Structure formats: C-alpha cells, structure tokens
Amino acid sequence: MTCHDAREQFSALIDEALDAGERAALDAHLATCADCRPELQRFRDTVALVRASGPVRAPAGFVDRVLEAARPAPWPRRLLRSLFLPWPVKLPIEAAAIVLVAVGVALVYRGSPELQQSALQEPAAPVVTQPPGGAPPEAKTPAPAREKADSRELYSARREMAREAENAKDAPRAQERVQGFAKEPGPLADKKKADTAAPAAPQAAATSRDADLQKAPESQDRQAPVIGKLDAPAPGAERQRAAKDNVPERRADSLKAQRPASAPPTPASPSATSAFVPPDVSGQLAVSDRDLALRSLKELVARLGAIETRRFDTSDGPIIELAVPRDAYAELNRGLAQLGRWQPGKAPSTLPVTIRVVVRITG
Amino acid sequence: MQGRTGDDASLVDRLRRGDPRAFEDLVIAYQHRVFGVALRMLGNRAEAEELAQEVFLRVHRAIGEFRGEAKLSTWLYAIASRLCLNRLASGERRMTRHGDEALTRLASREISPAEEVERSELETALHRAIAALSDERRMVVVLRDLEGLSYEEIAAALELELGTVRSRLHRARMDLREKLERFLP
C-alpha cells in the first residue's frame, strides 16, 4: 500500500467504515510509515475541530410560524396565491401570455380584411338607405349579412371587369373611360346588382379564364388601377376572348403598359379615408343612351363642384359614387332627373356637409 | 437521531391519521436539525428559516407519500438537502452565503464572552472553510460531522452510492485540513 492509498482511507478509518481487510492493510502501512502516522493525526484533529462546532438552534418562535403557515388559508387567498405566486415566475409568464394573445389578435385582425371591414362598417350600417324602387328582399337582412354580400359582389364584379377589359383592350373607348376611375370600388348598398350582374355574366367565361387570372400578379385582382382600366363595353368582349386566351404574356404586358395611364388621381374626398362606409343616398338612373348620360353626368358633377370618388362598372351598367356638397344636392337631383328616370333612395333626415351619393346607371 | 425509530414510527402513524398535534410534535422534534442544515448550507439565518419552514410544509403536504422505508429523519434530511442544493444552484439567492452575519452567528451555542473571543478566530476560520467547500462536499460534511448521520443515511438522503459518499466526504475533509492547518495542534 502506498502512502497515497493509505491517506485516501483516513476518512473511512475515522468513521470506522473500513471492512476488516482494508483496516488490516491500513494498520500494517501505518505501523511502518512514519509520514502517514502524523498525517492521520492531523486528519483526526481537523475532523474533531469541525465536529466541535456548536450545534445550531432554530430561532425562537419558529415552531409557531411553521404551524401558522401550515394552516390552510381561506380559499380566496389560496386562489390568489395559486394564480400569482411565486411572483417572479408567474407574473412574467402571465404578462407574456397577455402580450402573445394581443399580438395574435392583432395579426388575425390585420390578416382578415373582412374583420377590418366589419369593424369599420358596423357603426355606420344603420345609415344605409334603401335602394330605390321596390326594396329587394336582401335589403331587409341584418347589416353584417349585407356586408358579406357586398364583399362577394365586389369580388365577383372585379373579376368580371378584369376579364372584360382583357378582351377589349384595343376597344376604341377603353382609354377614354379609364380617365375618371377612382382607386377602389366601394361597397354598394344596391343589392339588386348583386343578384343579377355578379353571378350571371362571369359564369360562362369563368372556367377557362380563371387559370389565366391566377397567373397574373395578385395585385391584378385587388388593385384599383387595374380595375379602372379594365373597363370596356361588354359587346366587344366575346369577340376578343378567343384570341386573348392564346397570349397570356401579351395581356400581362399590355396591362403593365396601361397601368400608368389609367391610374386616376386619388380623389381628395371623404371616401379616401372611409373606403367602406355606405353612401348617404343611392339611387337608380334609367337612361336611354348610357354614354350620353355618362358625359352629361360628368359635366353635371363638374358644374356642381362635386367629385366622382369611385366608379364601378358592371355588365348591368356603371355605378358611380359621388361626393356632393350639401348645397348642391338639390341641384344634383334636378340634373339627374333631366338625364333620365332618376329614382333616388331615401335621404337621411340630416344631410352631412358632403353627401355621398351612389348612382347606378341602367338602360 | 439514533434510537428514535420507535418514536418516528408512532409519529408517522399519527401524522397519517391526521392527528392535529402530530405535525406540531414533528416540527418541535426536528426544527433544530432541519434549521441547522439550512443555515450551514445557506449561511444566512433568514434564508435558512424560510427554507426550513418550506421543508416542514412539504412534509405536511406530502406525509401520505412517506412509505416508511427510510427513517423519518432521513426523509426530512433528504427534503432539506434537496431544497438547499436546488436553491444554491438556482442563483436566485438574495444574500451571499459568505455574509458576515452567518459567520458571526453560526456559533449560537452558549459560551462565555472570554471563550467567545478566544474561539472567535477559530470559529470564523472554521465556518469560512466550510463555506468555501463546494455545495456537494459541504452537504456531506454537514450531514456527517455536524448532524451525525451515518454513511448509509447520507447515501439514502442524497440518493448517492455509499462509495460516492465516502470519497466525497474524504475530499471535503482534506480541503478542510488544508484550510485549518494553522489551528491544528
């Protein structure tokens, strides 16, 4: 046994934890090693010093404090404790959870245009005026349902317009009509259109064209300039469709080329900020010559100091939103009545300074 | 702790039966030992009391889980040592374990002022040496040389092999021998 081996067993020797063989070997080494004997003594003295350290007593009142703490707390306090204690652990977790939920809600809200629309529209919904003539049954549906119908109508109408314009991009009047178009079509309180225009016309051509539409940049479906420029008279459409289907690239190019020209000046009107607020008044204008009526309407609008804020073309006819100064509203009604059969809906009892009027031109 | 097995057995029975006096008896019987381990490991009386209280509250809540395979005292030491080591490892400690308070108050045994002066240097050195040990080695020294547990009890409380207890204790004592060299006769 080496000195090192022997000294490794000092601790166990002191505690009498060596078995008989180990003990005999260690004793034999110690008997012959003059270095290890004093070393063992120092080791013993060290342990004795440590063991001489006085006993520790719990502080006075410790038992009472433990018993008090062990007594079950009243349930409200237990609940609070379980919710918030230990503070350093649970509070940050709870705060983080709140932040996460808030961020989640914000993301979902931002990612869902429908939610944003309904948030914007709901307060204004009761202001919606009845469409002219016999109120269609949908007008009686509750506000949220109407908003949804509007979204669907807008979507299908945009697609339809996109298709028509593709087919008629070289149609003679396309550029001219593009001029006055506002950025984004707004929702239309007129429900009749939803029933007729949107579903009917697109259906026939939809199947073959859907694929093409999806190839085009997504913005084509969504953004206003495209919609404006895409307007074209419906009659030319069917003729052009067959030719267009073979050249999707050309279509994309020509769309790009047309975009700058067709981008309308953003109207400085209330509608720019309240894109989805329903109009104050909507009505139907039945005319015999649609183009003549459009030109006359343009002049009327200019004369009254009104602004055309949006235009939305459907196969049924254009739908035009105007921002009209309150003073000029009566004159507008008179002017419209001269253009054709003007059937305005009910106006609110108190008119705003700028009245938003939607005119649907038919005939 | 030795020779208390019979008492422990009846105490455990009473605790399990929900005897309202049993828990009080348990705290009275073990308060100094549990507090002693906590104080020597943490080095701070306030923190030690808080931890000792937690040990008893855990026993109170979990007495149904005590199977009686080990002695009640071993179970208490096991809970106390685990809580101490966890706290030391957690880094959430409010006070340093080398605080002066711990060093001056650790020897709470009644001694005369003269003796206190005489011993103070040694006591200070001793506690400083113990405090300087690693947590695992200090725990073994505290349980063996200050609390008087056997190797087997220490192995059970710390869930260690006997050989590990033995070598860890030896290393701890070697460290102490080196640090206390000048106080040795």
Cβ of B53 and A65 within 8 Å? yes
Of the partner residues A45, A59, A63, the one whose CB lies closest to the CB of residue B45 = A59
> Which residues between 68 and 97 in chain B have a beta carbon less than 8 angstroms from any beta carbon of chain A?
92
Which residues, listed in sequence order, are joined to residue A356 by a DSSP beta bridge? A323
Coil/strand/helix, residue A165:
helix
Q: What is the mean pLDDT of residues B129-138?
A: 93
Interval A217-252: pLDDT, tens: 444 444 444 444 444 444 444 445 544 444 444 444
Q: Which residue has the higher pLDDT, B36 or B111?
A: B36
pLDDT of residue A167: 59
Of the partner residues A8, A51, A58, the one whose CB lies closest to the CB of residue B170 = A8
Nearest to A284 by CA among A182, A358, A191, A209: A358
User: CB of B18 within 8 Å of any CB in chain A?
Assistant: no
Interval A276-322: pLDDT, tens: 667 888 888 888 888 888 888 889 888 888 888 888 888 888 889 89
User: CB of B108 within 8 Å of any CB in chain A?
Assistant: yes
Contact between B38 and B81 under an 8 Å Cβ cutoff? The reply is no
Cβ count within 10 A of residue A138: 14
The yes-or-no verdict on residue B110 having pLDDT over 90 is no
Q: What is the mean pLDDT of residues A6-16?
A: 92
The whole-angstrom separation of Cα A185 and Cα A203 is 21
The whole-angstrom separation of Cα B129 and Cα B180 is 7
Vertex A177, ends A171 and A181: CA angle to 5°? 135
Which residues in chain A are closer than 8 Å to B27, comparing Cβ atoms? Answer: 62-63, 66-67
The whole-angstrom separation of Cα A23 and Cα B45 is 41
pLDDT of residue A188: 45
The whole-angstrom separation of Cα A297 and Cα B88 is 85
Residue with token string 């309150």: A326
Please give the single-letter amino acid code of residue B179.
K
Of the partner residues B24, B107, B126, the one whose CB lies closest to the CB of residue A50 = B126
The whole-angstrom separation of Cα B97 and Cα A86 is 23
Coil/strand/helix, residue A354:
strand
Which residues in chain B are closer than 8 Å to A45, comparing Cβ atoms? Answer: 184-185
Q: Which residue has the higher pLDDT, A142 or B182?
A: B182
B5-183: CATH topology is Rna Polymerase Sigma Factor; Chain: A (1.10.1740)
Q: Which residue has the higher pLDDT, A98 or A252?
A: A98
Provide the angle, in degrees to the nearest 10, between the axes of the packed helices B162-179 and A36-52. Answer: 90
The whole-angstrom separation of Cα A222 and Cα A158 is 8
Cβ of A70 and B127 within 8 Å? no
Task: Provide the residue ranges of all domains of chain B, joining segments of one domain with +.
Answer: 5-183
pTM: 0.47
Interval B70-98: pLDDT, tens: 788 999 999 999 999 999 988 766 545 44
Q: Which residue of A has its CA nearest to B166?
A: A12
> Mean pLDDT for chain A?
70
pLDDT of residue A164: 61
Q: What is the mean pLDDT of residues B111-138?
A: 80
Please give the single-letter amino acid code of residue A240.
Q
Contact between A209 and A163 under an 8 Å Cβ cutoff? The reply is yes
Of the partner residues A11, A51, A67, the one whose CB lies closest to the CB of residue B166 = A11
